Amino acid sequence: MGNIRNPRAGCALHGALATLEAIEGVVPIVQANAGCAMQHALAYRDRGGYTVAQTVPSSNIIDKQVIFGGGSRLREQIKNTVKVMDGRLYVVVGSCECAMVGDDLIGMAREAAEQGLQVIGSNIAGFHGDIHRGYTRVFLDLIDALPELETVRGLREKGGERPLVNLFGLFPGGDPYYKGDLEELRRILEAIGLRVNSFFGPGGHAALRTLSDAALNLVFSRWGETIAARLEKKYGTPQLIFDAAPLGIEEVSLFAQALVERLDLDATGAERFLEREEVLAEYFLLGAANRYFDEGAGKRAAIVGDSETVLRIGGFLSRFAAVDIRTAIYTDCGEEDALPVDFGGAAHATGDGGEIADLLCGSGADLIFASSLETEVARELGVPLLTVSHPVHDRMIGDRTYAGLRGAVALGADYLTLARQGRRAAAEKLARKLAAG
Partner 1 sequence: MSEVESNRVSFHGRGGAGNGKPAAAPKSQSAGRHIAIYGKGGIGKSTTTSNISAALAEAGYKVIQIGCDPKSDSTNTLRGNHYLPTVLDSVRGGNKVHLADISATGFKGILCIESGGPVPGVGCAGRGINAAVTLLQELKLFEEFKPDYVLYDVLGDVVCGGFAVPIRDGITDRAYVVTSSDFMAIYAANNLFKAVNKYAPTGGARLGGIIGNGLSAAYSNAIIDDFAARTGVPVAGYVPRALVVSQSELYGKTVIEANPGSEHAGIYRELARHIAENDKLVIPQPLGVGDLRDWARDWGDRVFNLENGAERAAA
- Asked if residue 5 binds partner 1 (CB under 8 A), the reply is no
> Minimum CB separation from partner 1 for residue 129, in Å?
8
Measure the CA dihedral 208/211/213/216, to 10°.
150
- Classify residue 42 as exposed, middle or buried by CB count within 10 Å of its CB (0-12, 13-18, 19+): exposed
Closer residue to partner 1, CB minimum distance, 8 or 312? 312
Which range, of 57-65, 135-143, 191-199, 428-436, touches partner 1 by CB under 8 A?
A: 135-143
Closer residue to partner 1, CB minimum distance, 327 or 372? 327
Pick the binder of partner 1 from 136, 212, 309, 363 (CB under 8 A).
Answer: 136
Pick the binder of partner 1 from 23, 149, 194, 244 (CB under 8 A).
Answer: 244
Return the half-sphere exposure (C-beta side, CA atoms, 13 A cut-off) of residue 383: 24
Closer residue to partner 1, CB minimum distance, 127 or 293? 127
- Asked if residue 383 binds partner 1 (CB under 8 A), the reply is no
Rounded Cα gap, residues 356 and 373, in angstroms: 10
Strand, coil or helix: 316? helix
Pick the binder of partner 1 from 88, 110, 348, 423 (CB under 8 A).
Answer: 110
- Asked if residue 45 binds partner 1 (CB under 8 A), the reply is no
Rounded Cα gap, residues 91 and 284, in angstroms: 44
Closer residue to partner 1, CB minimum distance, 108 or 378? 108
Report how far apart the first and last C-alpha atoms of the chain are (Å, whole number).
45
Report the DSSP beta bridge partners of residue 204. Answer: none
Residues 313-372 that bind partner 1 (CB under 8 A): 315, 319, 333-334, 336-341
> Minimum CB separation from partner 1 for residue 247, in Å?
8
Which range, of 78-86, 171-179, 249-257, 277-285, touches partner 1 by CB under 8 A?
A: 249-257
Rounded Cα gap, residues 229 and 219, in angstroms: 10
Q: What angle do CA 179, 417, 366 make, to 5 degrees?
A: 105
Q: Find out whether 74 and 11 touch, Cβ atoms under 8 Å.
A: no
- Classify residue 32 as exposed, middle or buried by CB count within 10 Å of its CB (0-12, 13-18, 19+): buried
- Asked if residue 238 binds partner 1 (CB under 8 A), the reply is yes
- Asked if residue 63 binds partner 1 (CB under 8 A), the reply is no
Phi, psi angles (nearest 5°) of residue 207: -65, -40
Rounded Cα gap, residues 402 and 69, in angstroms: 46
Question: By the criterion CB under 8 A, which residues form the site for partner 1?
Answer: 69, 99-104, 106-107, 110-111, 123, 128-129, 132-133, 136-137, 140, 144, 219, 221-223, 225-226, 229-230, 233, 238-244, 246, 250-251, 254-255, 258, 307, 311-312, 315, 319, 333-334, 336-341
